[in-house]
């Protein structure tokens, strides 16, 4: 079980992801709807794992990922993207993302990525 922060600008996507994670036995301790908020909440809540949407207003995901990795070089971040955002995913992996999941979320894939990241 992991303490998780969900970052996505769409509330319905956060809700869907939360349901999958909670059903998989994880705990969602906080949520953020853009990159800036994610950085603030990361500092305040210190989640064990972050799911980070790539495309968001105000500050996009990869930028927030870089900030979070500066605050905590051990931070475990999984990127969420749409199919066909291969370049953005590669950039994020290079910036230290541990794994990625594709929207729309498939329960099995999400939980698989979470346990892989928590073990690794």
Partner 1 sequence: MRAIVVDDELLAMESMSRMLTRHGAEVVAAFQNPLEALNSELWCEVDAAFVDISMPGMNGIELAARLQSKAPLLHVVFVTAFDQYAVKAFEIAAADYLVKPVRAARLEATLERLRLHPRQAVAAAVQEAPPTLACMHDLGIDRGDGRVEEILWRTSKAKEMFAYLIYERDRAVPKEQLQDLLWPEVDADRAVANLHTTVYQIRQTLKSAGLPVHILYAGGRYRVDLGGVKLDCEQWEQALDRAVADMDEGRVFRLLLDGYRGDYLQSEAYLWAENERERLRIKWLQCASELASRLEQSGLPADAIRLYQEIQKRFPVWESSYLGLMRAHGQIGNVLEVKSQYAKLVRVLEEELGMQPERETTRWYEAWAASRSYTSE
49-53 and 3-7 strand pairing? parallel
Query: CB under 8 A: which stretch of 6-14, 20-28, 44-52, 65-73 binds partner 1?
Result: 6-14
Query: CB under 8 A: which stretch of 8-16, 34-42, 68-76, 90-98 binds partner 1?
Result: 8-16
What length does the chain have?
A: 120
Strands annotated E in the chain: 3-7, 27-32, 49-53, 77-82, 99-103
Q: Is 120 in the site for partner 1 (CB under 8 A)?
A: no
Q: Which residues bind partner 1 (CB under 8 A)?
A: 9-10, 12-13, 16, 55, 82-83, 102-104, 106, 108-109, 112
């Amino acid at each position: 079980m992991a303490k998780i922060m969900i970052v996505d600008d769409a509330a319905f996507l956060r809700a869907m992801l939360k349901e999958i994670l909670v059903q998989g036995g994880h705990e969602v301790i906080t949520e953020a709807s853009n990159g800036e908020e994610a950085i603030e909440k990361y500092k305040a809540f210190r989640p064990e794992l972050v799911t980070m949407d790539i495309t968001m207003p105000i500050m996009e995901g990869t930028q927030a990922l870089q900030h979070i990795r500066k605050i905590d070089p051990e931070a475990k971040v999984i990127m969420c993207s749409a199919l066909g955002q291969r370049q953005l995913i590669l950039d994020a992996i290079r910036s230290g993302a541990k794994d990625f999941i594709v929207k729309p979320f498939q329960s099995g894939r999400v939980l698989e990525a979470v346990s892989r990241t928590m073990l690794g």
